[in-house]
Amino acid sequence: MQASHRSHRRRKKRSAGRLGLAGAATGVVGVVLVAVIIVVLRSTGSDGANTRAPHTDGAPAVSGGAVGQVRTPRTGSPLHLTTPDGFGYDVAAARGGTNDRPLESDTRRPPAGQTYAYVDYVLTNTRNQEDLVDFPADLFVRRALVPAQVRARCMPQPGVQGDMCTLPNHSAVIGYLNGSKAPIEESGDQYMPPGASYLVRVATTQPVEKGAGLGDMRLYVWDARYISDRRAVEVPFP
């Protein structure tokens, strides 16, 4: 089984309310009529729009595809993360590149001359208790290598150098490391066993130019669940 989600950055919520009040009083007897009408309108972006933080899109935690033990890759220095509800993780970047189908669940083929970018990183539960399967890291690519027709969807983020931006992307567990067991299912959620390490791939759902390479990619954590001021922190490659 394969844990996955889609990543989105901006969430749009709109609410509109209307309150009407009419009152009339005649002589000793007053008559007051109050009418209240509340209309709430919500809109969220379509698939591929950067509307939400990486872990909050509501996609199922498990999708099809077999995941097994894989060799532990070389990584850069890990970034230590703690959530407000007490979960603890290490995130360590391993490698990146391009592929026309970076994840087994991908079905769309890129346009001619274009492909998809991806980065692999190691996600570790640093506690002696179960931690929610989450995907803290976001892939950024060099804006100049994003095709003009999708460049408006490549979003900047405070803390990230100005020539980099993040395209809509999704993530999946692609392997278990060091004998780690599969996630534990509890009430529809998935939890990493204590001390488990998973290899995660985050891949763009919008294309980049075929000339893109690892030097044109960066991995950051910026979501407020991990970074209170949402100023992105880089997870370095080895």
195-210: pLDDT as tens digits: 999 999 999 999 999 9
Q: Is the predicted pLDDT of residue 72 greater than 60, yes or no?
A: yes
* Least confident range of 12-21, 40-49, 106-115, 136-145: 40-49
Sheet with strand 189-192: strands edge to edge? 131-132, 189-192, 184-186
Q: Is the predicted pLDDT of residue 182 greater than 50, yes or no?
A: yes
Give the mean model confidence (pLDDT) for residues 3-7: 53
The length of the chain is 238
**Taking all residues of the chain, what is their mean pLDDT, rounded to a whole number?**
80
DSSP-derived 3-state class of residue 109: coil
* Residues linked to residue 191 through DSSP beta bridges, in sequence order: 132, 184
Contact indicator for 219, 94 with CB cutoff of 8 Å: no
Say which residue, 107 or 194, is predicted with more confidence. 194
Say which residue, 51 or 68, is predicted with more confidence. 68
Q: Is the predicted pLDDT of residue 52 greater than 80, yes or no?
A: no
Say which residue, 58 or 66, is predicted with more confidence. 66
Residue 28 has a pLDDT of 40
Tokens at residue 112, please?
A: 């001619």
The Cα–Cα gap between 60 and 51 comes to: 17
pLDDT band (50, 70, 90) for residue 31: very low
DSSP-derived 3-state class of residue 214: helix
Where are the alpha helices (H) located in the chain, listed in sequence order?
Answer: none
DSSP-derived 3-state class of residue 153: helix
Tokens at residue 122, please?
A: 């190691």
Give the mean model confidence (pLDDT) for residues 142-160: 97
pLDDT band (50, 70, 90) for residue 3: low
Tokens at residue 178, please?
A: 């060091």
> CA torsion, points 53, 59, 62, 65, in degrees to nearest 10?
-100
- Separation of CA 174 from chain center: 16
Q: Is the predicted pLDDT of residue 181 greater than 60, yes or no?
A: yes
Q: Is the predicted pLDDT of residue 13 greater than 80, yes or no?
A: no
The one-character DSSP state at 73 is: P
